[in-house]
Amino acid sequence: MPLDRFQREIDYLRISLTDHCNLRCVYCMPLAGAAYAPLEGLLTSGEIERVARAAARVGFRKIRLTGGEPTLRPDLVDIVRRIASVPGIGDVALTTNGILLPKLAPALADAGLRRVNVHIDSLDRERISRMMRWASLDDVWAGIEAACAAGFTPLKLNCVVVGGYNEADVVDMARLTRERSWHVRFIELMPLGGGECARVATQSFVSNRDTRRRIEEALGPLEEMPPTSPSDESRNFRLRGAAGVIGFISPVSEPYCGSCNRMRLTADGRFHLCLLRDDELDVRAALRDGADDRRIAAILLRAVGAKPTGHDLLHGVSTRERSMHHLGG
């Protein structure tokens, strides 16, 4: 398993498949003017497989497919099948808004996908359409049901909390865990990319301390669960007697950089070394120059070695070149 220069074990690769999305969440994509990589610049399914094989060769064990919205890739099922067949990769997961899961979930499960995170910011029809623009609660909920029917476990629901939009909705989201064995996770806003979305992140930030307080005032005390992994970005809790888990992902108020185990691959073939910084290392050029797996693995190890100690949000440093829809979180 590769170690970075801070002795963190890096074994988790998050692969963005596209920077396009069928929604326009207020903190992620503007309604107009978003910058996209040219189609020919996106990694092909074969190139993604090669990176996955190189990653497994040096000790990576987990891969998550993200976007933009990864279900927009017409070759998504093929990509999952290719990655799931790589020796050494024991966990293939997907983060999605769920809208296309009703038609894709069975094929993805057959191809080897094991886990799904579905993004949903509210259970209120009006607020979800205001916040996740172009989304409907019925469509997202149908995706959640499709994920359950396909056997993806544990099902995780990701909710980004935005002041003035959905901070009051966290109680209803948390209440889902009383009867269902789902993981409902609340995520703090991160200022990525500048422009409209970064302004929302800065002006509408809600600390997870406040989110937890709101949930406990309404539903009772949360019992902290022991971490299952030192690199888990979520601090997990349970309502007394509940079937599911409530998680808090707090990159701003409680950074977890010291235990980070992640490397990111952008849809246009760059290793992005830290979500909240602009440091990147190109691998697409080597792939298209005929590099063998050993050379691809060497580039990945160089990226691991250059991984920074963490973000520097407190000093105003954040990603400027990439927005959230380029990186997938």
Tokens of 170: 């966290």
Query: In 3D, which of 161, 177, 181 has the Cα closest to residue 169?
Result: 161
**Rounded distance, CA 115 to CA 84, Å?**
12
Average pLDDT of span 223-250: 95
Residue type, 51: V
pLDDT above 70 covers a percentage of the chain that reads 96
Contacting residues for 3 by C-beta, under 8 A, at least 6 apart:
9, 10, 304
Contact assessment for residue 72 and residue 328, using Cβ atoms and an 8 Å cutoff: no
When mean pLDDT is compared across 98-112, 204-218, 248-262, the lowest value belongs to: 248-262
Q: Which pLDDT value is given to residue 225?
A: 97
User: How remote is the C-alpha of 329 from its chain's centroid?
Assistant: 4
- In this model, does residue 192 exceed pLDDT 80? no
| DSSP notation for 241-307 | T-SSEEEEE-TTTS--GGG--EEEE-TTSEEES-TTS--EEE-HHHHHTT--HHHHHHHHHHHHHH-
Task: Write down the mean pLDDT value for the chain.
Answer: 93
Contact assessment for residue 112 and residue 92, using Cβ atoms and an 8 Å cutoff: yes
What own/partner pairs with CB < 8 Å and gap ≥ 24 does 149-152 have? 149/105, 150/101, 150/105, 150/106, 150/108, 150/109, 151/109, 152/105, 152/109, 152/113, 152/114, 152/115, 152/116
Higher per-residue confidence, 327 vs 177: 177
- In this model, does residue 195 exceed pLDDT 70? yes
Residue-wise pLDDT for 237-291, tens only, equals 999 999 999 999 999 899 888 899 999 999 999 999 988 788 899 999 999 999 9
Average pLDDT of span 14-41: 92
Q: How far is CA 142 from CA 99, 173, 186, 203, 273, in A?
A: 7, 16, 21, 32, 35
Average pLDDT of span 13-18: 98
Angle at 196 between CA 159 and CA 172, to 5 degrees: 20
Residue 270 backbone dihedrals phi, psi, to 5 degrees: -120, 140
Higher per-residue confidence, 305 vs 277: 305
Average pLDDT of span 36-52: 96
- Helix H or strand E segment including 10: none
Q: How far is CA 21 from CA 147, 193, 224, 323, in A?
A: 19, 16, 35, 13
- Helix H or strand E segment including 185: strand 183-187
Average pLDDT of span 163-191: 96
- In this model, does residue 318 exceed pLDDT 80? no
Q: How many CA atoms lie within 13 A of 10 on its CB side?
A: 28
| DSSP notation for 130-164 | HHSSS--HHHHHHHHHHHHHTT-SS-EEEEE--TT
> Strand, coil or helix: what is 232?
coil
Contact assessment for residue 121 and residue 132, using Cβ atoms and an 8 Å cutoff: yes
Q: How far is CA 113 from CA 10, 18, 104, 160, in A?
A: 21, 18, 11, 24
- In this model, does residue 312 exceed pLDDT 70? no
- In this model, does residue 315 exceed pLDDT 70? no
Q: Which pLDDT value is given to residue 311?
A: 78
- pLDDT band at residue 304 under the 50/70/90 scheme: very high
Q: Which pLDDT value is given to residue 155?
A: 98
Average pLDDT of span 3-9: 94
Residue-wise pLDDT for 122-146, tens only, equals 999 999 999 999 999 999 999 999 9
Domain boundaries, the chain: 12-327
The yes or no reply on domain 12-327 and CATH 3.20.20.70 is: yes
Q: Which pLDDT value is given to residue 50?
A: 98
Q: Which pLDDT value is given to residue 137?
A: 98
Q: Which pLDDT value is given to residue 316?
A: 63
Q: Which pLDDT value is given to residue 314?
A: 63
Contact assessment for residue 142 and residue 96, using Cβ atoms and an 8 Å cutoff: no
